[in-house]
């Protein structure tokens, strides 16, 4: 492939409208003689990207990107200089001389092939549109009306009707000189076993698939009645000039609204797109029956910063939603999600609830990564160890799709908290799951066993959950300082605040305020014990409570006795007489306290007897 002559480059630039070209990628507003918008090459909130149609140049005063239309396409598409010039030349009808006859012939055939392909698809689109608005299209028009699609919306999307029968498309395009074999290569007809052809689309509403330049590349068709067990929806096959995963249905119509809102709503089906546009939600597109691809995500990146996935509410829609995360993360887009009830989809939701209700859901859309992690973690909180380990492995696959380091750290910490796994261990596990499986399992097992409490501590917990009114006296007497478990002391403060706020114990809310892990398991056990009425009347509960407090006091006294004895053993009597006397006095007070506790315990037993 030879060098492109300078005269040809100048001709291409002269024939290419820079404003029209850049508007395919950026939403621009007039500013005097020029146009301004948000720069597609760097993040900004205030428009600093300027296009000067009269001068044929663009310039961003934020990142200093600038040049002519060739340089713009090279930057945004990643094309080489020759590739860019040849693309623009083809669109402008400029011939580029080739270095060799073979290259010239290949380039000519490619250009002519694409030109013929687009002409065929354009002719087919005109035929289908004419059928929709003619006598044959009454049944299709009625169907569209039933789906809430008015004429203006149908015409804006170029909807058509493929008549019932086997050769209407073949005959109509044949009269324009297009041979059946050409139509086959374009995906419009199918060969039969007799050496002939028949129409691919028959008795169907037809949706043209249009690229951002307005070229019709393919069609989708929705059956209006059963045609021998045919599928409800069918699509054009991929061709030399059409790849399904590189196009988005409705983007040519939606790109302006997407650019203005800097947000794209991605739905599953063509009808969803059309219905939502008709309802005024005009930033809607669809990936045409597939999960979003990286190419499609990069296409959206030209116009949007945020993408909201709003697929059908069934399990298939849920799985397809999950598969979008990788593509959106790869493109550097903020990925959000709106979910519907199982039998719902965007079209039926808008027809039932209205466009404003959908707008409200979009405003409240949650991060796609967070949703993906929640759907794995929530079902296994409090479940078996095996279920938690399974969730850990599944959620690691989601985290692997998150490219932004801060977001990854945030979600990793949240997973660690929800599964009660040390964050450092979780990170090791995510990097080397096979090597760390046993350690992760041990961590989850430990968390599921509950916090180990002394018997008296557990008794205090159970009684105070049953009689929270005693919490005020418990803290006023500083009995929390007797507890061996600091985790229990902290939790009882949570219970007191909860009790004061709710004027009672709301068990579900209290559990929600308890971090997942050992203490939550212990609290669940204690609440279950209270519920089973093992604690009877308040006077019996009070006796049990006092016994537990006495035991805690005695345990504290034993610990203090041992501690003070160790201190005495380490003091030099001759040089530290004063300190020795102080410790000895404290030890005697502790032992007197222990004797008083024993007397109190004996008296309590006598009273009970």
DSSP symbols for 116-138:
HHHHHHHHHHHHHHHHHTSGGGH
Average pLDDT estimate for 581-594? 86
CA distance 26 to 39: 8
pLDDT at 536 over 60: no
Closest among 267, 329, 324, 337 to 301, alpha carbons compared: 329
- Decide: 518 and 486 in contact? Cβ < 8 Å: no
The fold of 251-364 is Dna Topoisomerase Vi A Subunit; Chain: A, domain 2 (3.40.1360)
CA distance 247 to 254: 13
What pLDDT sits at residue 1?
46
Q: How many secondary structure helices (H) and strands (E) does the chain include?
A: 27, 16
Q: Where are the domains of the chain?
A: 6-92, 104-242, 251-364, 372-448, 449-535, 538-609
Closest among 338, 220, 216 to 270, alpha carbons compared: 220
Structure token pair of residue 389? 């380990």
What pLDDT sits at residue 142?
95
What pLDDT sits at residue 609?
53
pLDDT at 286 over 50: yes
Q: What superfamily would CATH give domain 104-242?
A: DNA primase, catalytic core, N-terminal domain (3.90.980.10)
In this prediction, residue 531 has a pLDDT band, given cuts at 50, 70 and 90, of low
Length of the chain in terms of residues written: 609
Average pLDDT estimate for 467-478? 89
Return the SS3 of 543: helix
40 or 168: which carries more pLDDT confidence? 168
How many C-beta neighbours within 10 Å does residue 349 have? 22
Phi, psi of 372 (to 5 degrees): -65, -40
Determine which helix (DSSP H) or strand (DSSP E) holds 220, and give its type and residue range.
strand 216-223
What pLDDT sits at residue 604?
64
How many C-beta neighbours within 10 Å does residue 508 have? 7
pLDDT at 221 over 90: yes
What pLDDT sits at residue 190?
96
Instruction: Please identify which residue in the block is written with the tokens 């609830």.
Output: 353
pLDDT at 425 over 90: no
Identical fold between 104-242 and 251-364 = no
Closest among 531, 464, 494, 96 to 502, alpha carbons compared: 494
What pLDDT sits at residue 77?
80
Phi, psi of 475 (to 5 degrees): -80, -30
Instruction: Report helix angle 81-92 to 6-15, nearest 10.
Output: 50
- Decide: 377 and 353 in contact? Cβ < 8 Å: no
What pLDDT sits at residue 367?
95
In this prediction, residue 533 has a pLDDT band, given cuts at 50, 70 and 90, of low
Percent of the chain predicted with pLDDT > 90: 35
The CATH number that domain 6-92 falls under is 3.90.580.10
Report the DSSP pairing between strands 284-285 and 263-266: parallel
Average pLDDT, the chain: 85
pLDDT at 306 over 70: yes
Tell me the per-residue pLDDT of 73-127, one tens digit each, with 9 for 90 and over: 988 887 888 888 888 888 888 887 766 677 667 767 777 888 899 999 999 999 9
Least confident of 156-165, 301-310, 538-547: 538-547
CA distance 327 to 291: 9
What pLDDT sits at residue 229?
56
Structure token pair of residue 401? 């799709």
Average pLDDT estimate for 532-551? 76
Closest among 363, 370, 437 to 402, alpha carbons compared: 370
Tell me the per-residue pLDDT of 483-493, one tens digit each, with 9 for 90 and over: 888 888 888 99
What pLDDT sits at residue 539?
77
Return the SS3 of 68: coil
pLDDT at 23 over 50: yes
How many C-beta neighbours within 10 Å does residue 538 have? 13
450 or 452: which carries more pLDDT confidence? 452
Q: Which letter does DSSP use for residue 249 in this model?
A: B
What pLDDT sits at residue 349?
93
């Amino acid at each position: 492939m030879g060098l492109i002559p300078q005269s040809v480059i100048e001709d291409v630039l002269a024939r290419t409208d820079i404003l029209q070209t850049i508007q395919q990628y950026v939403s621009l507003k007039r500013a005097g003689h020029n146009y301004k918008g948000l720069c597609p090459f760097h993040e900004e909130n205030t428009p600093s990207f300027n296009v000067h149609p009269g001068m044929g140049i663009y310039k961003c005063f934020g990142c200093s990107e600038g040049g002519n239309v060739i340089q713009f396409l090279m930057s945004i598409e990643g094309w080489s200089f020759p590739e860019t010039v040849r693309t623009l030349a083809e669109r402008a009808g400029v011939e580029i001389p080739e270095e060799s006859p073979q290259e010239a012939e290949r380039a000519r055939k490619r250009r002519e092939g694409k030109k013929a392909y687009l002409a065929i698809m354009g002719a087919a689109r005109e035929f289908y549109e004419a059928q929709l608005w003619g006598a044959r299209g009454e049944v299709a028009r009625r169907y569209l009306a039933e789906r809430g699609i008015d004429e203006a919306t149908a015409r804006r999307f170029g909807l058509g009707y493929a008549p019932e029968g086997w050769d209407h498309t073949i005959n109509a395009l044949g009269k324009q000189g297009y041979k059946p074999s050409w139509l086959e290569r374009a995906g419009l007809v199918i060969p039969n076993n007799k050496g002939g052809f028949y129409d691919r689309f028959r008795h169907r509403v037809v949706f043209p698939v249009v690229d951002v330049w307005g070229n019709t590349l393919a069609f989708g068709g929705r059956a209006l009645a059963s045609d021998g067990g045919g599928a409800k929806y069918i699509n054009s096959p991929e061709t030399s000039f059409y790849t399904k995963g590189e196009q988005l249905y409705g983007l040519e119509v939606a790109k302006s609204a997407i650019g203005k809102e800097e947000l794209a709503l991605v739905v599953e089906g063509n009808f969803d797109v059309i219905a939502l546009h008709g309802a005024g939600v005009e930033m809607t597109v669809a990936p045409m029956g597939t999960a979003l691809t990286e190419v499609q995500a990069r296409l959206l990146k030209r116009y949007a910063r945020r993408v909201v996935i709003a697929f059908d509410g069934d399990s298939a829609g849920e799985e397809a939603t999950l598969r979008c995360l990788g593509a959106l993360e790869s493109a550097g887009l903020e990925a959000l999600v709106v979910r519907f009830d199982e039998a719902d989809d965007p079209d039926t939701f808008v027809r039932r609830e209205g466009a404003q209700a959908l707008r409200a859901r979009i405003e409240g859309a949650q991060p796609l990564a967070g949703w993906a992690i929640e759907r794995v973690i929530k079902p296994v909180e409090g479940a078996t160890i095996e279920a938690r380990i399974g969730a850990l492995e599944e959620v690691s696959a989601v985290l692997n799709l998150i490219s932004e380091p801060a977001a990854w750290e945030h979600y990793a910490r949240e997973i660690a908290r929800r599964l009660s796994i040390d964050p450092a261990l979780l990170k090791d596990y995510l990097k080397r799951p096979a090597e760390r499986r046993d350690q992760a399992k041990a961590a989850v097992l430990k968390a599921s066993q509950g916090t180990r409490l002394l018997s008296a501590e557990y008794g205090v917990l159970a009684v105070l959950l049953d009689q929270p009114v005693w919490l005020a006296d418990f803290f006023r007497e500083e009995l929390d300082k007797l507890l061996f478990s600091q985790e229990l002391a902290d939790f009882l403060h949570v219970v007191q605040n909860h009790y004061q706020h709710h004027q009672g114990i709301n068990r579900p809310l209290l559990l929600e305020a308890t971090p997942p892990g050992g203490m939550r398991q212990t609290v669940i056990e204690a609440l279950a014990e209270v519920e089973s009425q093992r604690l009877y009347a308040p006077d019996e509960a009070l006796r049990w409570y006092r016994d537990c407090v006495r035991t805690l006091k005695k345990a504290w006294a034993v610990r203090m006795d041992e501690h003070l004895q160790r201190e005495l053993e380490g003091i030099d009597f001759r040089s530290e007489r004063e300190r020795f006397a102080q410790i000895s006095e404290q030890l005697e007070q502790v032992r007197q306290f222990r004797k008083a506790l024993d007397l109190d315990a004996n008296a309590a037993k006598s009273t009970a007897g």
